[in-house]
Amino acid sequence: MSPDKKISIAVIKRLPRYYRYLSDLLKLGITRISSKELSIRMGITASQIRQDLNCFGGFGQQGYGYNVEHLYNEIGNILGVNNKFKFIIIGAGNMGQALSNYTNFEKRGFELQAIFDVNPNLIGKKINNVEIMDLNTLEEYVKNNKVDIAMLCVPYDQTPLVADRVARLGIKGLWNFSPMDLKIPYDVIIENVHLSDSLMVLGYKLSEKLKNS
């Protein structure tokens, strides 16, 4: 891929899905697959798959298809799963605890290092063998430990303040689970996650189905 070539966000958002499906194929012992076969499994066109992968050099051979393990590893490299990004979670409420217990992060190249909260009833407890620390110790922790990403699971009205605090510490990636679309004036990459949006899309599709039934 040329360093000057800009890949669309739509393509980038499909890469984790390719990675997941290829992982499933490896578990099934499938060593190669055509774009047509992959399209049937994924529910997108073979043309779209070829266009997406050609953005990064192709990886396939005409008449042979894709080597599943090779493609899986190459997409993993593109997504940075081998970088072993270190992350922390700020907010140990229901969402923070759910994320802390999610075991697939490490398989995807993300390592949970610490959890922070302000609730004295939670501080000192452990989730998935990771201790919940006092948020007042955040600056000291970041000073002494490598942190690439902060996952924000704090109340809506606290999100801008916490995000500003985190960005000032030099953390370059924010995964924001607050209902707000977070924007801050720093050189920070922000991924806003709105779970309710996906649920409402499902609600719309279900409503349309009920209308037509």
- Class of domain 84-197 as given by CATH: alpha beta
CATH of domain 9-78: 1.10.10.10
Domain 9-78 and domain 84-197, same fold? Reply is: no
Token pair belonging to 70: 């090779």
**Structural domain boundaries of the chain?**
9-78, 84-197
- At residue 81, the pLDDT reads 83
Q: What is the mean pLDDT of residues 134-151?
A: 97
Query: What are 64's two structure tokens?
Result: 């042979």
The pLDDT-based confidence of 90 (bands split at 50, 70, 90) is very high
pLDDT tens digits, 6-20: 788 889 989 999 999
Q: DSSP letter at 63?
A: T
Token couple for 150: 């902060």
pLDDT in tens, 58-82: 676 666 789 999 999 999 989 888 8
Q: Alpha helix (H) ranges present in 43-121? A: 46-54, 68-79, 94-100, 104-107
